[in-house]
Every structure is written in structure tokens, then in C-alpha cells.
Amino acid sequence: MNTSKAVLMGSLAALVVLSAATVIIQEAWGHGVQAQLQSRFVRIEDETFSTQTLNTGEILEVRGKLVSLVNRDLRAWISIFNESTNAGNRWEFVSRDPPGNVFDIPPSGVIEYTMRVKALEAGVYHSHTQLNVANVGPGLGPGQTIVVEGPAILKPYSVGNIIYQTILICVGLGVSFATRPWQVI
């Protein structure tokens, strides 16, 4: 009797350990986008990309729907989030619909969107629609891998913009050294 109880308990313990081990050992595959980046306020649906491969200078069109899941107005803006194999990660917006930077999503409303961007640098990009909702944060669409080939397109820099940014940095450093905040410690 004791032997059968010992065998039964040993078998039960082995079964529990093996079942826990199979849960722990499961493999997961992903590309690094965190699950919480899908918003509980607005869902991005039917995200489609016009192509999966293009050359620099060509246009990528991203379309989809923004579906409000709440009963209040939301202020939002859309952009494209890219993860890439290179450090460049350069795209230029050609157009957005809804137009402008910030738009309103009505309560329980549906807004169709279109973004057109020009590829400026070769690379393999995993691109997503990024919806930023005011006072909530970002949310990402499912995404698509886009391969861009061709020579980089360099845009000229505005000398006035560089001078302006340099002046702002110098003023900030001047204020920092004049007030010497490190001496407070």
C-alpha cells in the first residue's frame, strides 16, 4: 500500500513538473513592439501598405481606419513608426489625410486615414501606423516589413536653421553656467 501511494505521489509530482516545464520552455517570436502599444481608446484597423519593396525616391502609401472605442472626443495625430536595420531610418512625408497635424476623433467614430511617405534611405524597415492620442499616448498598428533599395537621397540643410539651433544651444549653456545649478548640491 505504501509503495503504491509513493508511486502515485511521485507520478503526480512528475506530471506537475513536466507540465510547468512545457509552459516555461515555449518559444516566442516577435520584432520588439510591446503589446501595450495597442491603444484601449482607439483601434487601428485594416492597415494596408501599398508595397513591400520600393526604391529610394518612391512613395509608400499607408491606409487604414481609426475606430474610437470611447464615448468622448479625442485629439490625435498620426505618423509612421519605423524599426530598421540601419541607423538612418529616413522617410519624408508627402501627404496625410486627415490633413494637418492634429485632428479630432468623434465619440465611437471611425476615421479613414492615408499617409504617403517618400523613402530617402535604403534599409529593411518594419513600419507601423503610429496614432498619438492627446493625454493617452501612442498606439501602433500591426505593421509590415518594407524593403527599400537604392542610393540615399540627401536633403539640403537650411543654414538659417543650423544657426538658429546653435544660438539656442549656446543660450541654454550660458544660462546653465550663469545659474550654476550643480553648486546647489
What's CA 53's distance to the chain center, in Å? 20
pLDDT tops 90 at residue 60: yes
Residue 164 falls inside a structural domain: no
Q: How many domains does the chain have?
A: 1
CATH of the domain at 107: 2.60.120.570
Cell of 127: 513600419
Instruction: Name the most confidently modeled range: 8-12, 25-29, 87-91, 103-107.
Output: 103-107
Is residue 53 within 8 Å of residue 147, measured between CB atoms? Answer: yes
The predicted pLDDT at position 182 comes to: 61
Distance CA 132, CA 32 (A): 19
Looking at 9-23, 58-72, 75-89, 155-169, which range is the least confident one?
Answer: 9-23
> Which helix (H) or strand (E) segment is 118 a member of?
strand 110-119
Range of the domain at 81: 36-159
Residues 6+ apart with CB under 8 A from 117: 59, 60, 62, 80, 91, 92, 93, 94
Is residue 119 within 8 Å of residue 147, measured between CB atoms? Answer: no
pLDDT tops 60 at residue 25: no
Residue 51 falls inside a structural domain: yes
Residue 145 falls inside a structural domain: yes
Residue 146 falls inside a structural domain: yes
For 156-172, the pLDDT digits (tens) are 777 888 888 899 898 88
Residue 22 falls inside a structural domain: no
Residue 120 falls inside a structural domain: yes
**No. of helices (H) and no. of strands (E), the chain:** 2, 10
In terms of pTM, does the model score above 0.75? no
Fill in the amino acid letter for 120: L
The predicted pLDDT at position 46 comes to: 93
Higher pLDDT, 177 or 71: 71
Residue 3 falls inside a structural domain: no
Where does the pLDDT of residue 177 fall: very low under 50, low under 70, confident under 90, or very high at 90 and above? Answer: confident
Residue 24 falls inside a structural domain: no
